[in-house]
Amino acid sequence: MKKHSARVAPLSACNSPVLTLTKVEGEERPRDSPGPAEAQAPAGVEAGGRASRRCWTCSPAQLKKVFWGVAVALCVCSSWAGSTQLAKLTFGKFDAPFTLTWFATNWNFLFFPLYYVGHVCKSTEKQSVKQRYRECCRFFGDNGLTLKVFFTKAAPFGVLWTLTNYLYLHAIKKINTTDVSVLFCCNKAFVFLLSWIVLRDRFMGVRIVAAILAIAGIVMMTYADGFHSHSVIGIALVVASASMSALYKVLFKLLLGSAKFGEAALFLSILGVFNILFITCIPIILYFTKVEYWSSFDDIPWGNLCGFSVLLLTFNIVLNFGIAVTYPTLMSLGIVLSVPVNAVVDHYTSQIVFNGVRVIAIIIIGLGFLLLLLPEEWDVWLIKLLTRLKVRKKEEPAEGGADLSSGPHSKNRRARPSFAR
């Protein structure tokens, strides 16, 4: 069977990243090389004294990835913004954020079955469900998925998954969806800070700047509504949700490393099983204590609940497995694009006030998110680009001077034969 070399980390239901948000943990895919033009330009300068003029070219495979990236980014944007707006609409008739979280998380059980359908359709060497399951279980160790492994390596992530989604949905009840979606983008900054502290990842000054921008945006967003208790609680809930999401990602990389597509699908399905077995009791308790109460099951907006769950499942599928067809950075851009979409919807459906402070806060957080998408070698690439432009500017005057100086000589050469005659 042909095995995938790319390994991904299952992201939380509200992750960006761009998981990353979708970020590829333990990335094994080779980074795009600078290309033949970049590699040969310095040699040309050293040998001949001037660099050869080469234009940036894209292979058909790269163009295909870019086109797929645009499609995936639009899918991430629409599913994420759609699920957020549908959750806001659902709370108008069904004020039960934890029950909604529990209901949507149950759909995670479909991850592995959907993955197996894709495996049967695309793989040349097809395996049975049992064989594929056993192979994916090696992700948990030589003994596979034992009861001990379930409670030590799966259960904690199930709790973090539930907290991330519940805090996010509860925040939607308090503040508008634009603020919720833009504040959740700060989770990428939290991932960097935790990775730097816990995983000893490479220090990058630009990412520290991005983290500072994220924190400044949170403060400005709080100030935009005048520090009202209702708004402060909602913002605190979103920040807590982003923190849980970041903790989920960092702990996954620390404890489990990275996972192939089948292993990631199995892991997410196990989270759905954990939710059914151990979280089901909490909505029941909340119902009988009337914390989250509804008069009858006929009053539940099943269409909204199922629509929200389908959109959230679609978002997670695309974010976790979109790396197979495109670049992670393009997928993460879909999370940022959801912010203006939510802003447009809020402008026409709610009484949100886009004052100067709120707009600046949104721009600052968005800028911080984009800075975090820069690759680790961005400074090397920038130096190479500036060096190339500098060399090219020096070449143009030199070539122009050479043409002018050769002009009279060439005219004399042409004129001498005519005089001879």
Count of beta carbons in the 10 Å neighbourhood of residue 5: 9
Contact present, 241 and 185 (Cβ < 8 Å): no
Write the pLDDT tens digit of every residue in 306-322: 999 999 999 999 988 88
109 lies in a domain?
yes
| Whole-number Å distance between alpha carbons of 81 and 308 | 11
> Is pLDDT of 165 > 60?
yes
Write the pLDDT tens digit of every residue in 350-405: 878 788 888 898 999 989 888 888 777 666 667 777 777 777 777 766 655 555 45
Both structure tokens of 36: 């033949």
Write the pLDDT tens digit of every residue in 249-299: 999 999 888 888 999 999 999 999 999 999 999 999 999 999 998 888 888
As beta bridge partners, residue 291 has none
> What DSSP string describes 272-320?
HHHIIIIITHHHHHHHHTTSS--S-GGGS-HHHHHHHHHHHHHHHHHHH
Three-class DSSP category at 259: strand
35 lies in a domain?
no
Lowest-pLDDT range, 7-16, 38-47, 105-114, 403-412? Answer: 38-47
Three-class DSSP category at 366: helix
> Is pLDDT of 55 > 50?
no
The alpha carbon of 106 is separated from its chain's Cα centroid by a whole number of angstroms, namely: 23
Contact present, 200 and 29 (Cβ < 8 Å): no
Question: What are the residues whose beta carbons fall under 8 Å from the beta carbon of 242, sequence distance 6 or more?
Answer: 183, 184, 185, 186, 187, 190
83 lies in a domain?
yes
**What predicted TM-score, i.e. pTM, was given to this entire model?**
0.78
> Is pLDDT of 420 > 70?
no
| Whole-number Å distance between alpha carbons of 337 and 317 | 18
346 vs 418: which has the higher pLDDT: 346
Burial of 292 (0-12, 13-18, 19+ CB in 10 A): middle
Residue 274 is predicted with a pLDDT of 96
Residue 396 is predicted with a pLDDT of 66
Helical residues (DSSP H) of 23-96, grouped into ranges: 36-48, 60-90
| Whole-number Å distance between alpha carbons of 155 and 271 | 7
Burial of 130 (0-12, 13-18, 19+ CB in 10 A): exposed
14 lies in a domain?
no
Cα dist. 320→5, 23, 325, 328 in Å? 15, 9, 11, 10
Both structure tokens of 215: 């924190």
15 lies in a domain?
no
> What DSSP string describes 332-357?
HHHHHHHHHHHHHHHHHHS-----HH
Lowest-pLDDT range, 146-160, 169-183, 192-206? Answer: 192-206
Write the pLDDT tens digit of every residue in 331-342: 888 888 999 999
Residue 397 is predicted with a pLDDT of 64
Residue found under tokens 């816990």: 198
255 lies in a domain?
yes
Parent domain of 143: 62-381
369 lies in a domain?
yes
Residue 248 is predicted with a pLDDT of 95
Report the number of distinct structural domains present in the chain.
1
Contact present, 174 and 222 (Cβ < 8 Å): no
391 lies in a domain?
no
Residue 371 is predicted with a pLDDT of 86
DSSP state of 324: G
Annotate 391-404 with b (16+ C-beta within 10 A) or e (fewer): eeeeeeeeeeeeee
